[in-house]
Chains A and B, each alone.
Chain A
Amino acid sequence: GAVVSQHPSRVICKSGTSVKIECRSLDFQATTMFWYRQFPKQSLMLMATSNEGSKATYEQGVEKDKFLINHASLTLSTLTVTSAHPEDSSFYICSASKQGNGYTFGSGTRLTVV
C-alpha cells in the first residue's frame, strides 16, 4: 500500500513562534506532495503543491513567506508556519500520490496558536 505519515498530530504554540509540520511517504517516492488546510466543518482548501527539488507552487491567496514549504527529498515535505497567529489555528493535511491514481493523506496536524 501507500502510507503517508504526518507529524505532529497536534501542536500548541505561542503567537509569534514558528511551527514545522512533516509529511513523509513511508513506502513510496513522492515527487509531488500537497498541503491542505481545513477549517472546522469545512472542506479542504489546497494551499500549495510541494515539488521535490524545486520551489512550491502556492495557491492564490496563500502567503508563501508565511507558509514555507521544503521538499528536499522524495519522501519528505515540510510545512513551516512562521510567526504564527491565532488565525492560523487550523487542521493541516498533506497528501501524496503513489501512482497518480488515488491520493493518500496523512492523518493531519491540528495547530492551535495561543
Chain B
Amino acid sequence: SQQGEEDPQALSIQEGENATMNCSYKTSINNLQWYRQNSGRGLVHLILIRSNEREKHSGRLRVSLDTSKKSSSLLITASRAADTASYFCATVANSGGYQKVTFGTGTKLQVIP
C-alpha cells in the first residue's frame, strides 16, 4: 500500500500563480523528500526536509512538515509553464536495517502560459 497520499491528484493553474500540493503519510519517518517527474522520464530530487525540521526553502520552493499530523506541503511560488510535471513526495523510514523510500501517489501539475 502507498505510504503517501497526495492531494490534489491534478492541479491546473495560470502562470504566475502559486501551486500547493499536500502529502500525508502513516508511519514515523526520518525525512521526507519531494521529487519532480516529467512525462515518461526519471525523477529529479527537489528538496529534503528532516523530521526535526518544520519548514525549508529552496528558490521558489517552500516545503513544510507537520510530524504531528503526518503531513507535508510543497508550495511553488510564481509558477512557470516549465513547472508543468508530476510531483511526488517520498518518505524515508527505517525498515529492517536499511532506509526504505516510499512514494506518494503524486500530483500532476499543469501551468498554463
Contact = CB atoms under 8 A, between A and B. Distances in A.
Do A and B truly interact? yes
Interface of A: 6, 32, 34, 36, 42-46, 49, 51, 57, 91, 93, 95, 97, 100-108, 110
A105 B98 CA distance: 18
Interface residues of B, number: 22
A43 B104 contact: yes
Interface of A, secondary structure class, is: strand
A42 B108 CA distance: 10
B69 to A, nearest CB: 21
Given A49-B100, A95-B43, A107-B41, 13 more contacts: A36-B103, A42-B106, A43-B2, A43-B104, A44-B43, A46-B102, A49-B98, A91-B40, A95-B101, A100-B99, A103-B90, A108-B40, A108-B41
Interface of B: 2, 33, 35, 40-45, 48, 88, 90, 96, 98-106
